[in-house]
Amino acid sequence: MLVINRPDRLALLADALDGDAGRIDSRPSSAWYGHPHRMLAAYHEYTRGRPTLVVGEAVWAGMSERRMRDLIRYDSVINAALGPAPSIMMCLYDLRQVPRPVLELQPVVHPLILDAEGMTESRRFVEPHELVLNGDRAPLPEPGPGAHTVRFTARELKRLRQTVGDYARSAGMDRNLITSIVLSVSEIAANSVEHGAGFGTITMWLEGRELVCEIADPGGALDDPLPGYIPPEPESPRGYGLWISRQLCDRVELRAEGGVLRVRLHLSLDSASG
């Protein structure tokens, strides 16, 4: 059994269980829910191949609106990503503290609701691949001022990695994060030249203390309803690019418009992001 909660509540649980506390694997909410996609990967790894009961409560207070939306999306995606796993997951919500917009979406992303009156099926539940949150279909904003665009082909991927690394370094990115953005761009660009048009462009700019890299693939298509959310099979030669990039970056956005697939990667310049 895995319990994820605030340290003070984990301490109360340990006291209540007394000698049985050792049978519970506990993790602090701040670490587990700190990055939605790494949370998803951790769930997948923890539940793989064994029956597991997971009880978790995120700390929504002080969370940015963007992070709330991302975490709500992952609450939905878990239904598909962990569907085959022999696990039961229970998400807890303190009605006194959780923001109303979050509470209003819980019946949408959870198929079952448990309250004081018992368990019921949610009539508002939406399958993960059909979920649309505010802003999902809006056009991506134009690149910021000073944006730098580079065209690439398969023969120029090494030079592309160097260009991205140099740009991130000149922007003042934490050196431990430069590898993350370079690898993420490389994965997406390689997919563009191998499975798309054979070439593409990358546009880089800064938004405050965040580096944004957009890879545009003129031959790309968005044919996966949950792109990069479901871990690829171990023997699969494809499907790792977005899965890896979502773990390394703070946020990944995709749009397919006018025959062009755009993958926009966001990563804070600093080692800690919110």
pLDDT of residue 214: 98
Task: Give a yes or no: residue 140 inside a domain.
Answer: no
CA angle 12, 13, 19 (to 5 degrees): 115
d(CA 160, CA 178): 13
The letter for the amino acid at 233 is: E
Give the chain's mean pLDDT: 92
Residue type (1 letter), 17: L
Average pLDDT over residues 196-224: 92
Print the domain residue range for 254: 148-268
Query: Residue 135: is its pLDDT beyond 80?
Result: no
Here the tokens at position 139 are 């056009």
Same structural domain, 48 and 162: no
Would you say 101 and 60 are in contact if contact means Cβ atoms under 8 Å apart?
no
Does 86 score more than 90 pLDDT?
A: no
Per-residue pLDDT, 272 = 62
Angle formed at CA 138 by CA 65 and CA 37, multiple of 5 degrees = 50
Residues 20 and 126 in one domain: yes
Same domain, 91 and 48: yes
Quick check: 226 pLDDT over 80?
yes
Angle at Cα 163 formed by Cα 249 and Cα 246, nearest 5°? Answer: 15
Q: What is the dihedral of CA 45, 212, 129, 132, to 10 degrees?
A: 130
- Kindly tell me if the per-residue pLDDT of 273 is higher than 60: no
Task: Assess whether pLDDT exceeds 80 at residue 1.
Answer: yes
One-letter amino acid of 24: I
Residues 81 and 159 in one domain: no
What are 155-195's pLDDT values in tens digits? 999 999 999 999 999 999 999 999 999 999 999 999 889 88
Residue 224 counted as domain residue: yes
Cα separation of 82 and 169, whole Å?
A: 38
Tell me the average pLDDT across 197-204: 94
Do both 119 and 65 map to the same domain? yes
Query: Which residues, 6+ apart, have CB-to-CB distance to 194 below 8 Å?
Result: 154
- Give the residue-averaged pLDDT of 207-213: 97
Domains in the chain, number: 2
Residue 172 lies in a domain: yes
Identify the CATH number of the domain in which residue 253 sits.
3.30.565.10
Residue 68 has pLDDT above 60, yes or no: yes
Residue-wise pLDDT for 10-60, tens only, equals 999 999 998 888 889 999 999 999 999 999 999 988 988 889 999 999 999
User: Measured between alpha carbons, how far is 25 from 50 in angstroms, rounded to an integer?
Assistant: 14
Please give the share of the chain, as a percent, with pLDDT higher than 90: 75
pTM: 0.90
Q: Which of 12-26, 118-132, 176-190, 220-234 is predicted least confidently?
A: 220-234
pLDDT at 222 over 90: no
Rounded CA Rg of the chain:
20
Residue 97 is predicted with a pLDDT of: 92
Name the percent of the chain lying above pLDDT 70: 97
Cα angle 175, 215, 127 (rounded to 5 degrees) comes to: 100
In a shared domain, residues 153 and 37 = no
CA 217 to each of CA 42, 114, 239, 261, 262: distance values in angstroms, whole numbers, following the listed order: 30, 45, 16, 5, 6
E strands within the chain?
2-5, 25-28, 52-56, 87-91, 112-115, 118-121, 148-153, 199-207, 210-217, 251-257, 260-268
